[in-house]
Amino acid sequence: MKQYTAAALILALLGLMLCGCAHTSPELYSVTYWDLFDTVTTVTGRAESQEAFQSVAQGVYDTLLRYHRLFDIYNEYDGVANLKTVNDNAGVAPVAVDPEIIALLLDCREYASLTGGAVNVAMGSVLSLWHDAREADTPYVPDSGVLAEAALHCGWDTVIIDQTAGTVYITDPQQRLDVGAVAKGWAAQRAAEEAPEGLLISVGGNVCATGPKTEDGEAWVVGIQDPDGSSGYLHTLSLTAGAAVTSGDYQRCYTVDGVTYHHIIDPETGMPSEYWRSVTVICADSGLADVLSTALFVLPREYGQALLTQCGAEAMWVDSLGVQYYSPGFADYVRE
Ligand code: AMP
Ligand code: MG
């Protein structure tokens, strides 16, 4: 597991604040995990006893941990062929992988098509340049020529997903996969489907409800973080099912020569997208919500709204001046 950076710790605190809203009743239990998807995960829910809740939460954790290991591009695990293995074998050989990796990548290929390439997990070559620049002892801005060269290695025709053989092969030796825009929400969706009703699962900015907070249908309260961090929440939402996912420029960022660079990259430019400070998407499926929040972050609002309409989702955008924009049905979820 990578060391937590200051940015990750801030993200962690935001995640706790997000779930802190939900923990209001003595019948509720909550547990936090720090070792999944390089972010903070909180499971909250009703149970008859601490032991009963712990057992349910452990099930959610175990599912998320399995996906965390499979989708990790930085670390190897004994006996696991994961996405790092696939990346390391780019241009070398097909890798036999767990069917869940095949399932995720098939969905990601669909998502790239759905979003017109706005969310493209096959652009790991570009994303790794930004990752390395951000994580360096002295952070820097990737060279524009190197970024342009990497952008030539982001297509899907060089990612061979063989469902029959159960293998994935990146035929281009310079290409890499990075599923960071999708994996947390996708994994949370799977974990939610396996979990009992009445849980709130938060994986970083991805919050997913498996049913209402109480048996009489009371909704969970989920806060939307102010990207400025100054005034706490911009809104609180009522969620009884489905997911609320935020992509924000404050989540992983660094500053060079007074300019702040964040982690959501516009595939058109290879640079951090400049349209929005944050986008929150509400959608029945947590995986799709994760995809859409990243997609809308790198798209003008009219393109984003078209995607929302197509997917039956709602969103709130916040621009650089702090102005908030809403899709037509977003207000139905706003509590304050
Ligand atoms: P999210 O926080 O869900 O919006 O995802 C951000 C993460 O997804 C980044 O840390 C990158 O690893 C990755 N990423 C950034 N921009 C893109 C993009 N345009 N398409 C696919 N993945 C991206
Ligand atoms: Mg996302």
Supply the pLDDT for residue 234: 95
C-beta of 192 in contact with ligand 1 (< 6 A): no
Q: H-type helices in the chain, by residue range?
A: 6-20, 50-71, 83-88, 99-114, 124-135, 144-150, 183-194, 286-297, 301-311
What integer is the mean pLDDT of 269-278? 96
> What would the pLDDT profile of 223-246 be if each residue is shown by its tens digit?
999 998 877 899 999 999 999 999
Q: Is residue 2 scored above 90 in pLDDT?
A: no
C-beta of 293 in contact with ligand 1 (< 6 A): yes
Q: Is residue 155 scored above 50 in pLDDT?
A: yes
Q: How far apart are alpha carbons 65 and 150 in whole angstroms?
A: 31
C-beta of 203 in contact with ligand 1 (< 6 A): no
Supply the pLDDT for residue 132: 97
Q: Is 66 exposed, middle or buried (0-12, 13-18, 19+ CB in 10 A)?
A: middle
Q: Is residue 6 scored above 60 in pLDDT?
A: no
State the amino acid at position 222 in one-letter form.
Answer: V
> What would the pLDDT profile of 302-323 be if each residue is shown by its tens digit?
999 999 999 999 999 999 999 9
Q: What is the DSSP-derived secondary structure letter of residue 327?
A: -
Q: Which helix (H) or strand (E) holds 220?
A: strand 220-225
> What would the pLDDT profile of 16-58 be if each residue is shown by its tens digit?
333 334 444 447 999 999 999 999 999 999 999 999 999 999 9
Supply the pLDDT for residue 261: 95
What integer is the mean pLDDT of 53-74? 98
Q: How far apart are alpha carbons 26 and 54 in whole angstroms?
A: 15
Q: How far apart are alpha carbons 121 and 198 in whole angstroms?
A: 32
What integer is the mean pLDDT of 61-70? 98
**Pocket mutation for ligand 1, best pick of 203, 263, 274, 290 (most atoms within 8 Å of C-beta):** 263
Q: How far apart are alpha carbons 87 and 101 in whole angstroms?
A: 13
Looking from the CA of residue 295, the nearest atom of ligand 1 is 19
C-beta of 280 in contact with ligand 1 (< 6 A): no
Q: Is the pTM of the predicted complex or chain greater than 0.85?
A: yes
Supply the pLDDT for residue 230: 74
Taking each helix axis from N to C end, the angle separating 183-194 and 99-114, rounded to the nearest 10 degrees, works out to: 120
What integer is the mean pLDDT of 148-165? 98
Supply the pLDDT for residue 161: 98
Nearest ligand to the CA atom of 262 = 1
Contacts 24+ apart (CB under 8 A), 92-95: 92/173, 93/169, 94/160, 94/162, 94/165, 94/167, 94/168, 94/169, 95/167, 95/168, 95/169
C-beta of 265 in contact with ligand 1 (< 6 A): yes
> What would the pLDDT profile of 192-201 be if each residue is shown by its tens digit?
999 999 999 9
pLDDT band at 260 (very low <50, low <70, confident <90, very high): very high
Supply the pLDDT for residue 229: 81
Whose alpha carbon is nearest atom 3 of ligand 1?
A: 181
Pull the structure tokens for residue 19.
């779930």
SS3 content of the chain, % helix, strand, coil (to 5): 35, 25, 40
Calculate the average pLDDT of the chain.
Answer: 92
Supply the pLDDT for residue 300: 98
**Pocket mutation for ligand 1, best pick of 176, 178, 271 (most atoms within 8 Å of C-beta):** 178
Q: How far apart are alpha carbons 307 and 297 in whole angstroms?
A: 12
Whose alpha carbon is nearest atom 6 of ligand 1?
A: 181
Whose alpha carbon is nearest atom 10 of ligand 1?
A: 263
Q: Higher confidence at residue 7 or residue 90?
A: 90
